[in-house]
Structure 1
Amino acid sequence: MKQIKSVIFLTLIAFTLMAAGMHKFYVAIFQMDFVPEKEVIQMTSRVFIDDLELAFEKKYGKKFYFGTKKEIPEAKKYLVDYFDKNIKITINEEQKAIKYLGREIEDDVLVCYYTIPAKKVESIEIENTTLFDAYREQQNMVHTNVNNTKKSLLLTYDKPKGKLEY
């Protein structure tokens, strides 16, 4: 419980600093919810569009214009490929495939939806290097809800991987 409160507190500080414009703070939020009756983990990612576009421009040498009329036709392909290469999920010591479902725009955030097959969850190991190639200061917060137990991880450039036991 103390860890969850710390993560929530850090999230609030991060968003406050961004809103205040004190300095640029790079953060993405990932929510993972185990749904036993569907035998899946439903995952949602929330990434600031401007951070993602700048990272993609550096990486691929082109502008993407996510969520606008100028968005390039192959944007989905690049998104699916990028997240597939940068997020690795291991459940109960077995690496799992992540299925991209879709996306939407909420203000200045790109929200993507995924599912991960899981019949039973005793442990989740997450390696998440999203935006680390563009921003060394990037932090990826992972919140989980498994078997009515909430746990969180803060993944950074120096510590891109973590494991949670349930």
Structure 2
Amino acid sequence: MNKKLSRFFLPIILLTFLSAFAWHKFYVSVSQIDYVPKKKRIEITTRIFIDDLEKALEKKYKKKVYLTSKRELPEAETLIKNYLKENIKISINKKPQDVEFLAREVEGDVLIFYSKIAISKKINTLEIFNSLLTDIYSEQQNIVHLNINSNKNSLLFTNSDTQQKIDY
């Protein structure tokens, strides 16, 4: 009888244990930063999971925003821009830059944001502050891929490491 019970319960316990890993959410944003000398600007593309951003906006602004739905608040665009400006900051050659939000689009369960920085001088140093969603998720990781002056790099920002600098 004991063997029969273990044959029945062991697979259920194992399945429950393994499924806990499958349901664990992965907290990540990905940004691509490219310097385009011909256009005299830096182009930034940022991808964030909709539900994660929605939760961050709701916590910060104390209102449900219903991103990408018919119920989206009219001020959602402004709230998003403010949140992005507060949590992504870029300095070039030790001078803080104005990141201009251009547009957003939806791709599945991800919001994609397009931004730019007008820049006419050669980039010698680039400093990035990225704290997207770290106030909501302690395990949040923000990956930034860079292509500056034909040099490709990738940086990882976490709750404890929100600022990094690269010299070119």
Please give the range of the TM-score, normalised by the shorter of the 2 chains: 0.7 to 0.9
State how far apart, in whole Å, the 1-side matches of 2:166 and 2:45 are. Answer: 18
RMSD: 1.2
Aligned residue type for 2:105: E
SS of the aligned residue for 1:133 comes to coil
State how far apart, in whole Å, the 2-side matches of 1:60 and 1:86 are. Answer: 14
**Counterparts of 1:47-126 in structure 2 under 5 Å?**
47-119=48-120, 120-126=122-128
Q: Which residue pairs with 1:5 in the alignment?
A: none
Task: Give the Å deviation of 1:41.
Answer: 0.3
Give deviations 1:37-95, integer Å, cap 9, x for gaps: 11110001100001111121222222112111111110000011111111110111111
Aligned structure 1 segments of 4 or more residues deviating by more than 4 angstroms = none
State how far apart, in whole Å, the 2-side matches of 1:63 and 1:49 are. Answer: 13
1:135 to 114, 137, 142: 137
Number of residues of Structure 1 aligned to a counterpart in Structure 2: 147
State how far apart, in whole Å, the 1-side matches of 2:22 and 2:100 are. Answer: 36
**Counterparts of 1:146-157 in structure 2 under 5 Å?**
146-157=148-159
- Tell me the TM-score normalized by structure 2: 0.83
Task: Give the Å deviation of 1:21.
Answer: 2.5
Give deviations 1:94-139, integer Å, cap 9, x for gaps: 1111000010000000001100122221221100111111111111
For the pair shown, the structure with the greater C-alpha radius of gyration is 2
2:147 to 145, 148, 155: 145
- Tell me the TM-score normalized by structure 1: 0.84
Q: Which residue pairs with 1:17 in the alignment?
A: none
Structure 1 unaligned blocks of 5 or more: 1-19
Whether the aligned pair in 2 keeps the contact of 1:65 and 1:72 (CA below 8 Å) is yes
Identical-pair percentage: 48
Structure 2 unaligned blocks of 5 or more: 1-20
Whether the aligned pair in 1 keeps the contact of 2:57 and 2:80 (CA below 8 Å) is no
